[in-house]
Structure 1
Amino acid sequence: MTELEFKLLLNNLAGRCHSELGRQETKNLMPLSDLGAMRASQKLIASFQDALIQGIDYDFSELCDISFLFDEGSTGIFDYEELKLICRNSSLATTVSESVAAFDELPLAQKIVKRVIPLPQFRLAFQRIFDPEG
């Protein structure tokens, strides 16, 4: 496969991603030349497919990298869209983290899911701020 064909493949793949994070990560993809890495990747994908078969399904489409909001150069003041982004990410991270036990029989998927950092304090703060009676 030529470099041009591979870039077209990546663009096609990015267009099929449901989340912004997926589209960002697609840019970092490259062909694997190591057979061991290929097999490890296949096992990880199979583990998440098994999770779907077992009914373990989360909508990760809203999940994205929000680290840029907390960089040293940032002011710490967020507009509404940035606040919504933080809220969605913290809510999803907390929900997923609370159900890590559902992945007990899928250790490869569980290892990835455990890397999601729960932020329950953010979710509670957003609920208090945006609650109609808040």
Structure 2
Amino acid sequence: MAITTLRDVVVLDCPEPGKLADFYARMLGGKVEGEGRWVEVTFDSGALKGRTFAFQEARGYVPPQWPSAERSQQFHLDFYVPREELDAAEREALELGAELLQGDGGERDFRVYRDPAGHPFCLCVE
């Protein structure tokens, strides 16, 4: 039997919550709310409607390295894109400040990136 519930909120530690919130709001089509040490991105429509993506300031934040056993990613986010839109989604993510860590070489259905705070995420073919 469950002892708790999981709400529709994901929280990432980072050095600059507003900056990272802006990155994800622009990438996912959300709205930035708040400022300072805790900033949220909310969604009024689409598949993320009703969910919240939050960013909290972490003093002394050390970004994960991918791949690395010493500074492992802990977790990552997968974002899905239609195959025919994958290249365009990659261009937009890079323009927003993402960094490509591993392309697909035309052989896989995902590409690995790092957000501006260093968290790994993937663009995956839906």
TM-score range normalised by the length of the shorter chain: under 0.3
Higher strand share: 2
TM-score norm. by structure 1 comes to: 0.25
Bigger-Rg structure (1/2): 1
TM-score norm. by structure 2 comes to: 0.26
